[in-house]
A and B are shown apart, each in its own frame.
Chain A
């Protein structure tokens, strides 16, 4: 069974600084996806960034980038130039690559990291 571990329950960062959130996972699969989702206070969960395991290049989305280390099963999220709107719960999640009907797209989540951006 796959597991996802986020070892930092809470973190804080000053506005405009850079912060890195950690995530490790355990799987015997070779093809899979990794995600970081953001859940702002009282607001909807949204996708921040996605990484396909077969791609060696780290994914980036504006101020958000990942450090994907497949052999180490590590998937950290770096937020550059932190903004007050980045304050949220961040969840790391794993999904097996789709193979057959009936095993489509189940996400396995870590327990989350609560990030506070301070002015």
Chain B
């Protein structure tokens, strides 16, 4: 079974801090994604990556950056956390073969005070 793990389930940070959210998948998937989930808004794509060192902006990239130095790891970075970035962050991965399905991690609930 595909396993997608995220470094923390809950995280509390202060305004202005630099925050790193880590995601690791164990299925050699080429594609990895970061979403933000807010009540009443569903999931919105922040960034995605289709290969090592490759990244593309999603729908809401402002205030975020990403890093993909290794195939299995995709990091989301909040350069200077703000209270409006308090949210649930979900990572997902997907292969490039015939099985079209994104596999999700358990999520990180980030609170910025």
CB-contact partner of A111 in B42, B50, B102, under 8 A: B42
Interface residues on chain B, size class: 20 to 34
**With A45-B90, A101-B50, A104-B94 in contact, do A109 and B104 touch (Cβ < 8 Å)?**
no
Interchain nearest-CB distance for B59 vs A (Å): 9
Residues of chain A with a CB closer than 8 A to B41's CB: 111
Output the residue of B44, B58, B105, B107 with the most chain A CB within 10 A: B107
Interchain nearest-CB distance for B24 vs A (Å): 15
Q: Mark A91-119, 1 if CB is under 8 A from B, else 0.
A: 10001001001101111111110000000
CA distance A104 to B32 in the complex (A): 10
Interface: B106 (CB within 8 A): yes
Total interface residues in chain A, CB < 8 Å: 25
Describe B's contact surface by its main secondary structure.
strand
A106, B100: Cβ atoms under 8 Å? no
CB-contact partner of B43 in A52, A105, A109, under 8 A: A109
Interface: A47 (CB within 8 A): yes
**Interface residues of B, Cβ cutoff 8 Å to A:** 30-31, 33, 35, 40-45, 48, 50-51, 54, 56, 58, 90, 92, 94, 96, 100-102, 104-107
**Interface residues of A, Cβ cutoff 8 Å to B:** 9, 33, 35, 37, 43-47, 50, 52, 91, 95, 98, 101-102, 104-112
Q: List 7 A-B contacts (CB under 8 A).
A: A43-B106, A44-B105, A50-B101, A95-B100, A105-B102, A107-B92, A109-B43
